[in-house]
Amino acid sequence: MSANNLTISVAKGDGIGPEIMDAVLSIFDAAGVPLNYEVIGMGKSYYDQGYGNGMTPEAMKSIERNGILFKGPMETPKGKGVKSINVTARKVWSTYANRRHFRSIEGVDTVYSKAGIPIDITVIRENIEDTYGGIEHMLSNDVALSRRFITRQGCQQVIRFAFEMAKKEGFKKVTCGHKANIMKLTDGLFLEVFYEMAKEYPDIQADDVIVDALCMKLVQYPQDFEVVVLTNLQGDIVSDLCAGLVGGLGFAPSTNVGDNISIFEAVHGTAPDIAGKNIANPTSLLMSGIMMLRHLGLLKEARDIEGALLYTIESGVHTGDFGDRSTPSVDTTEFANAIISNLGKMPENVNLRKTSDRSDFHLPNRPKAQKVMIGEPAEVEIVGVDLFFQSEKQADQLAEEIKAKLPDSMELVSLTNRGTVVWPNGSVYTECSTGYGARIKGEGLTKEDYWAATAQLNSVVKVSSTEFLNIIDGQRAYSLGQGK
């Protein structure tokens, strides 16, 4: 679909957001970008007005009508129970893939540029699941629980995006970052899907690295990586690490891509200490806007603006947060005007990308109902239950009390505390919180049988939550306690 005369939704954001957005749009206008802008109400000020998701109903309708949100940085209100406006937007519109591109820029000095080590890394981060589900509970005054969801369908979406993007843009290698050595089911599923899908792209090298080793290798040998795909939280951390390799978040563009709606944003903070002073660096937001133009198929405009931006920085023009300190810095407006004056010029020794990460942009077709991603049918057998509860008692005493309440058809297999087995064969040196887990098993029992036993046990321990132990297609689908 042609992007000519398309309308996009624009949220200027909080803090320095309005200043840098105005600067970016002035560059777009000077470059003849054929877009119309529908400025919407979104950000902390709207949260403060009582809009719990940080946007007005009109803003939500605008984004769902236009399919594109271009947004400045937004502040997350501080306080328990308050959700991030940025994360909410990504999740509500199923923008499952977050893409951040990090590369060396001539004129932005780093330890790597000084050493002559070029960096060109794209991080693809799963954007909806993981601990960013934000599902947390206080099980007691001193025990907090966070649930981590990883789905096969969610893995497939983001990993396919990573391989497709690599294929279109000519990358030769995709690396999966993970912690499957510890989180064997959740990260294990992500890694399993990665190698399943890698078979569909035989011309692209696929490998994996445990995420802590990945961080070390990114710092030591960043030139060895091209595309890295990770789960949500790990991707968040690794992408900020990569930003540090190229000069900081001020040079880190970000795209949140979904099948119907996509979000392009600066990922740095709102910098309230300099808001209103017209000294902020608009580069990150401008680079995100360039990614947006490519997404919309406006490849010439994207190339012209990117060339002018890189030429300007290469020429030594800089805002106060980077560049040669011996030369005067310019303000936000002057920086934008310098880019405008350099439209048509290109930097030396830089190959600009000619492709887009998505070539199928379309206006959203409003679905009749929410999509339920259903996987392949599987044979599921229940073999037990994990009960999580609070107690100040010793594990040996708890075990005797629980066994006394269980029916003959059930067996107490173990007690854990913070994931470590403390009964049977626990160590006296294991320090325990008041949050325990009891693993109970039986043969040929139903959920109703386990619910009835749970009700009986509730007279002994304060049960907070339960998880059934499943065998799925003949494979154990639950973790073992540490020490089993």
Encoding tokens for residue 331?
């303000």
| Rg of the chain in Å (alpha carbons) | 26
DSSP codes joined into one string, 209-244: EEHHHHHHHHHH-GGG-SEEEE-HHHHHHHHHHHHH
The fold of the 380-476 domain, in CATH, is: Alpha-Beta Plaits (3.30.70)
Residue 348 φ/ψ, nearest 5 degrees: -85, 145
pTM above 0.85, yes or no: yes
pLDDT in tens, 146-177: 999 999 999 999 999 999 999 999 999 999 99
Query: Domain extents for the chain?
Result: 380-476
Residue 422 backbone zone (phi > 0: left; psi -120 to 50: alpha; other: beta): alpha
Q: How confident is the model at residue 403 (pLDDT cuts 50, 70, 90)?
A: very high
Q: How confident is the model at residue 81 (pLDDT cuts 50, 70, 90)?
A: low
Measure the CA–CA gap between 291 and 283, rounded to whole angstroms: 12
Q: Compute the half-sphere exposure of residue 452: CA atoms within 13 Å on the CB side of its CA.
A: 9
pLDDT in tens, 276-318: 999 999 999 999 999 999 999 999 999 999 999 999 999 999 9
User: What is residue 358's predicted lDDT score, i.e. its pLDDT?
Assistant: 56
Distance (Å) of CA 409 to CA 309, 399, 446, 462, 467: 71, 16, 11, 22, 19
Q: Return the residue matching tokens 């690396």.
A: 175
Q: Compute the half-sphere exposure of residue 145: CA atoms within 13 Å on the CB side of its CA.
A: 19
Measure the CA–CA gap between 227 and 123, rounded to whole angstroms: 6
**Span 207-228, average pLDDT:** 97
Burial of 215 (0-12, 13-18, 19+ CB in 10 A): middle
Q: At what angle do helices 299-314 and 332-341 cross, to 10 degrees?
A: 110
Q: At what angle do helices 283-295 and 299-314 cross, to 10 degrees?
A: 160
